[in-house]
Amino acid sequence: MAKLSQASSGALAAKLSFAALGCGLTALALALHAAISPSSALLAVEPALLVLGLGATALGLREFSVRMQFSAQAAASAASLQGLRDKVRWLKMTEAHAKVGHWRLDLVTNEVFWSDATFAIHGLKPAGTPPLEDAISFYHPDDQQTVREKIERSRSSGQPYAFKARLIGADGVTRHVDSGASVVSAPDGTPAALFGVIRDRSDEEEMQRELREARDEAKALARSKGTFLARMSHEIRTPMNGVLGFAELLHNSELNPQQKRHIDLIVESGKSLQTLLNDILDLSKIEAGKVEVTPGTVDLMHLLYRVTQMAEPAAREKGIGLVYDTSPDLPRHVVLDALRLRQVLGNLLANAVRFTDEGGISLSASCVEGKLRFAVCDTGCGIASGMQDEIFDPFTQERSHATLTRGGTGLGLAISRQLAGLMGGTLTVRSEPGEGSVFTLTVPLVGCAAPEKGPKQDGPTPIRSGSKHNARILLAEDYDINRELITDMGTRLGHEIECAEDGIEAVTLIQHARAIGRPFSLVLMDLQMPRLDGLEATQRLRKDGVTPEELPIIALTANAFADDVENCLNAGMQAHLSKPVSLERLEAALDQWLSKSTVDEAQPSESAERETEASAA
């Protein structure tokens, strides 16, 4: 550019000098015309000089103008070239930062061009681009054929392509890349070249790998947590069954008032421990994603009556009123999860009773904007405004003296709000200290017609005929204390109880009893037993032809999760009783399945199964 500028300057000076010469000749001609008298010779010279001067002047000016235009164009070209160089530099910087390179393949000559970033992705410094086959050889051996097929398909069809592959760089590093190409056509329309982009996605692949590992670890942790919870539930419920069961039997014995008071305290403490265990297990199941919502047809009036009746004894003991009411437009039958709704409303009513000392509690149900709304209103101590969000957090309670003296774990509301969310609803509170609280549960309203056979009754439909009294019952239980407890309870109920310590012994005794013509009327089957567990024992009996009509099997177990109930029913059992079991619950189950009346065979309905689970909880 400097030499070009110097040459341009010299040419420009020459053209200006030539223009000056022309002007001088013109001036000379004019001087001769003024000073010299006309003569033929001079008259001939004067016009020639004048024309020569004017021509030289015009030529110089024209050349000057052309040169100025050339200089302007040269300057514009230089600026454009510098802008292009800047764009190339920026493109290289962008490709290097994004780990994206571009390349070009001439489909006629197979010549390959790589950008600097493409070299870097291949673990090379920019130099001569390798031939096509050498470029393909950088790919993992398992991916090379895919690359060849993609290129040849585009060569023949003119269609673009894209693929993911592994690339082994010259530096020995294996990279995960995305590559894609578009076809550049010749004037005759045939594919002439491929213009493509290659992206190093190794960081992304590594992140995805870490996410997959984290996901798998979380799933494994959830499975481990679920297994642990099930194990802890079993290990805690099993001895608790003995504590509460024998306490109940003692309470019904001939004791003096002080002894009965002591037994009552044992039972009350045991039930508090059982409630705490249920709350912790419920919360853990929800957090582990083990709780599912199963909608079904529900008699709403019946459900509200039952949930109110469950809270009524505690309210009556404190001398406070408890009522429920429904709006006229409330449908009787709706589709929702009866177990979860009852659990939430039961928690809210239990809390209302706990924190209300005078006045009353009401449960109302209505339809609002296409939704079901349940409101539990109390006249209790109320909740400070700053705590109305925190009380829905696990293990959190309002920290006033009025609440700290009433016990509780602070889990009920946390569980209730999460269950409300699982049902597609919300749970909110409105409260003033000293003026009571209103908890409002809102869930989607899905109405339905009444069942043809009327509302379903609690518990499974019995499918066996026989005597409700003096029945011959087999108890399969490996824990000796529970064997003694259930035997004592069964005997008090008027039944003959025979025991087996594991599943194999249970199957053997049942088959022998059938062979000698003294079959059992019912089996109480534990789940976790040595040698053969309760599920496998039940499956073996059903496979051997021992039908539910002949021998109902009731799970009597510390495995109280919903999937445990489902597994029992799927294995061929007819009902599920979770430990600890009371004499009243055992009597109700036995009476149900040892009914005198003969009824048609029927499998337990889904809602009935969940009723059984509810009683277990």
Tell me the DSSP string of 387-405: GTTGGGSTT----SHHHHT
Contact predicate 531/503, CB 8 Å: yes
Kindly give, in sequence order, each residue whose CB lies less than 8 Å from that of residue 75, ignoring residues fewer than 6 positions away: none
Strand bridging mode 161-168 / 100-106: unpaired
Residue 452 has what pLDDT?
57
C-alpha distances in Å from residue 157, one per residue of 153, 185, 190, 196: 6, 11, 9, 16
> Residue 53 has which token pair?
């001067």
C-alpha distances in Å from residue 164, one per residue of 105, 135, 147, 176, 194: 19, 16, 9, 7, 17
Q: How is residue 493 annotated by DSSP?
A: T
Q: How far apart are CA 307 and CA 419, in angstroms?
A: 17
Cα–Cα nearest to 482, from 570, 390, 581, 552: 581
In sign, the C-alpha dihedral spanning 127, 131, 134, 138 is: positive
Residue 102's identity, in one-letter code, is: H
Q: How many residues are there in the chain?
A: 617
Bridge partners of 199, per DSSP, are 100, 178
Q: How far apart are CA 512 and CA 434, in angstroms?
A: 68
Give long-range contacts, CB 8 A cutoff, 24+ apart: 139-148. 139/165, 139/166, 139/167, 139/168, 140/165, 140/166, 140/167, 140/168, 140/174, 142/166, 147/179
Prior bond to 126 cis, omega within 30?
no
Cβ atoms < 10 Å from Cβ of 590: 25
Per-residue b or e along 203-223, where b marks 16 or more CB atoms closer than 10 Å to that residue's CB: eeeeeeeeeeeeeeeeeeeee
Residue 488 has what pLDDT?
92
In sign, the C-alpha dihedral spanning 121, 126, 130, 132 is: positive
Cβ atoms < 10 Å from Cβ of 9: 11
Kindly give, in sequence order, each residue whose CB lies less than 8 Å from that of residue 532, ignoring residues fewer than 6 positions away: 502, 503, 504, 506, 507, 540
Ranges of the chain with pLDDT below 50: 1-7, 11-12, 14-16, 21, 25, 28-29, 31-32, 36-45, 400-401, 404-405, 454-467, 596-617
Ramachandran class of 458: left when φ > 0, alpha when ψ lies in -120 to 50, beta otherwise: beta
Strand bridging mode 112-114 / 100-106: antiparallel
Q: How is residue 123 annotated by DSSP?
A: T
Kindly give, in sequence order, each residue whose CB lies less than 8 Å from that of residue 121, ignoring residues fewer than 6 positions away: 99, 101, 167, 169, 175, 177, 198, 200
Q: How is residue 101 annotated by DSSP?
A: E
Kindly give, in sequence order, each residue whose CB lies less than 8 Å from that of residue 550, ignoring residues fewer than 6 positions away: 464, 519
Is the pTM higher than 0.85? The answer reads no
Q: How far apart are CA 300 and CA 306, in angstroms?
A: 10
Q: How is residue 580 annotated by DSSP?
A: S
Cα–Cα nearest to 373, from 305, 423, 321, 411: 423
Residue 468 has what pLDDT?
56
Strand bridging mode 496-500 / 553-557: unpaired
Contact predicate 526/556, CB 8 Å: yes
Q: How far apart are CA 443 and CA 424, in angstroms?
A: 6
Packing angle, helices 480-492 and 583-593, rounded to 10: 70
Q: How far apart are CA 521 and CA 466, in angstroms?
A: 7
Residue 325, classed as helix, strand or coil, is strand
Q: How far apart are CA 608 and CA 610, in angstroms?
A: 5
